[in-house]
Structure 1
C-alpha cells in the first residue's frame, strides 16, 4: 500500500515541555485513520504540524510521498482539512462562503454543490451563516474541507456540536469517502465509540507520545476475552476449578477465567456439573476500545 502520511520523530516543544514527543505516524492510502487520545494529549498539535500550521521543533513530515516543508504548496493543494472550529463570514450565506473557498482552492463549480449535498446543506445554502446552528456550521466546515475532493482529508473532532442524528450522518459520510472518492481520511477524536465505528486503523496518543499504532483488529487482539461464569456457589466453584488446573478469579457476582480456549471452557463446565454445582450462566466478555485505551495510558484521564 502507498504511504500517504508518515512522520519521523515528530516533536513540538513549548518552553521546556514537549506537547508532541518523537511521534512516528504511518497512514496508508484508502485508510480511515483514527487519531485517538484525551483532551490535551497532543492530537491537534500533531495535525497542525502535518498541515504547516505549526512548525515542528524536531522531526520530519512526509505527505503524498514528499517532504512537506519542501513541497508544501503542491501538497496542500491535494489536502483538505478542518482543524478545531471552522471559520466563516457570518454576514454571508453558506453558498457565498463556499464560493470564497472555491476561489481560494481553484475548484470547479460542480464541486460546490456536490460538497453541500454530501453534508446535506443544499437546502440551507442561501441562509446567512450567522443564523446557522453549531451543527450546521460544523457541517459547512466539512463541506469546505471536501471542496477540492482532496487525496488526504484531515478532520479534527468533526462531530463537535452535532446531535446524535448528525453524528451518525458524519460517521457514514467519513466511512464512504475512501471507496467513493478515493480519499484517505485522518480523523482525531476523544470519543472512543466514534473511532471504534469509523476507523480502519488507529493511533493512540497520550501526553504527546504515540502509545499504539496499527489496525483496529490488531488493537482488539491486545485484549484477550474473559470467560465469565456464574454458579450457585462461586466460592466452591473457584476451589474446584483450581484443583483442575483452571484459575477462576472472583469478579462481583461471577468468576472470570482469563486466556482459556473453548476446550478448557467445556472442561470447566463439565467439572462443575459433575460436582453438582449448578452453572447459571457462561458468557464471553470482550473489552471495548475504551478499556484497552485506559490500559494503554495506565490511568483514567478525562475523555
Structure 2
C-alpha cells in the first residue's frame, strides 16, 4: 500500500449472479485529496462506495482504509469515516438542530460538534427550522453536516449535488473545496457531472461499465487535452511533402493537415513557408480536446456524462 494512501482497493469486484457491477477496480485515494469518482449513471460508482463502507460485501478483492483491512478493522475505520450515500436521512418533523442531536447521540461525539458542523455547512441560521421545510440544497447540507459530526479524516459523498439548482451546486462545491485545507478531511465524491468534478477535484478516477478506465491527478488528465493545429491548403499533398522534408511531424487528417504541440510562432513560420512555395493556405485552426472528448475516447461510447 502507498504510504500516503487513505483508501486502496485491489481487484475490487462485485457480481450479482452472472452480472458484474464492479470489475477489478484498483482505487487509490491519497491523504488531502479531493478525489472525483466519475462515470455515467449505472457505471458502478455507488456500489463501489458501499463496498468501501462495508454496506455491500465484495465478491472478490481487498479493501484497505487508513492502512488497515476493512474486513478486520471495520468498526475502527468507520469511526474515522463520514459518509452520505444516495440521499440524506432525517426526521422531517424535527428541526435541523434536533436531527443533529439525534445523530450526535448515536455517534457518541461531543455536543459542541453539532454547532460546529452546522456552521461549516452554513445552516446555523436555519437550525430551528423543521427539516421538512428545508430546500433540497439545505437537506443535502444537513446530510453533509451529519457526516461531519465526528470530524472524520475521510468523507465519502455519493452524488452530493444531484438534483440541486446552480446556487445549491455552487454552495456544495465551495464547501467540499474547503474541507482538506481547513479541516484536514480527505474527500471522495462520486458524480456523473464532468463539469462538477473538473471544478473541485484534485484527482480523478473514471469508471464505466464497472471498470476503471483512468486514474490520476486532474492536471495529468488535463495534459491529455494538448492542442493541435490544422492547416487546409490548395494542395495538401504538396504541403505535407514540403513540411515533412523540413522536419515537421505532420499528418493528413481528412481534408486537412495536422500538427501537434506547435507554438503560435511556429504556426506563423509554417504559414510563411507554404505561401513562399506558392501553396495557398485557406484555413488555420487551433483545436483542443475537452475533458468530455477525452472521456468519450476512453469509454469509446458516444454519450455524454
Are positions 1:96 and 2:98 aligned together?
A: yes
Q: Which residue of 2 aligns with 1:300?
A: 302
Aligned residue for 1:191?
193
CA contact (8 A) 2:203 2:218 kept: yes
Q: Which residue does the alignment assign to 1:213?
A: 215
Alignment-derived partner of residue 259 in structure 1: 260
- Give the drift of 1:133: 1.8
Q: Deviations over 1:225-269 (max 9, x none)?
A: 22245xxxx341634531323335357xxx562424336534322
Q: Report the Cα distance in structure 2 between the residues aligned to 1:281 and 1:100, rounded to whole angstroms.
A: 64
Q: Which residue of 2 aligns with 1:135?
A: 137
Q: Shift in Å at residue 190 of structure 1?
A: 0.3
Contact 1:224 1:258 in 2 (8 A): no
TM-score between the two structures when normalised by the length of structure 2: 0.90
Query: Deviation string for 1:32-82 (max 9, x for gaps)?
Result: 111000000000000000001101011111001100111111110000000
**Mapping of 1:70-219 within 5 angstroms?**
70-219=72-221
Paired with 1:240 and 1:158, the residues of 2 have a C-alpha distance of 55
> Bigger CA drift: 13-22 or 274-283?
274-283
Paired positions, count: 295
Aligned-partner SS, 2:251: coil
Q: Determine helix, strand or coil for the equivalent of 1:127.
A: coil
The match for 1:241 is 239
Whether contact under 8 Å (2:233, 2:282) holds in the other structure is: no
Runs of 4+ in 1 over 4 A off after TM superposition: 278-282
Q: Judging changes above 3 Å, is the alpha-carbon distance between structure 1 residues 273 and 66 closer, same or farther for their aligned structure 2 residues? A: same
CA pair 193-100 structure 1, distance change in 2 beyond 3 A: same
Q: 1:3 and 1:243 mapped to 2: Cα distance?
A: 51
Q: Indicate how the Cα distance of structure 1 residues 280 and 207 shifts in structure 2: closer, same or farther if over 3 A, else same.
A: closer
Q: Distance in 1 between matches of 2:184 and 2:149?
A: 14
Instruction: Report if the CA contact (8 A) 1:151-1:183 is conserved.
Output: yes
Q: Could you say which residue in structure 2 is the equivalent of 1:51?
A: 53
Give distance in 2, aligned partners of 1:204 and 1:256.
Answer: 32
3-state SS of paired residue (2:187): strand
Instruction: Indicate if the aligned counterparts of 1:273 and 1:279 stay in contact, CA closer than 8 A.
Output: no
Contact persistence 2:239–2:279 (CA under 8 A): no
Partners of 1:6 and 1:25 within 8 A in 2: yes
Kept in 2, the 8 Å contact 1:241–1:271? The answer is: no
Unmatched tracts of structure 1, length 5 or more: none
Q: Distance in 1 between the 2:90 and 2:236 partners?
A: 63
Rounded Cα–Cα distance in structure 2 between residues aligned with 1:140 and 1:281: 52
Separation in 1, partners of 2:207, 2:259: 28
Measure, in 1, the Cα distance between the counterparts of 2:155 and 2:18. Answer: 32
Q: Distance in 2 between matches of 1:202 and 1:69?
A: 26
In the alignment, the residues of structure 2 paired with residue 158 and residue 98 of structure 1 have an alpha-carbon distance, to the nearest angstrom, of: 19
1-side partners of 2:115 and 2:280: how far apart? 67
Decide whether the 8 Å contact of 2:271 with 2:281 is kept in 1: no
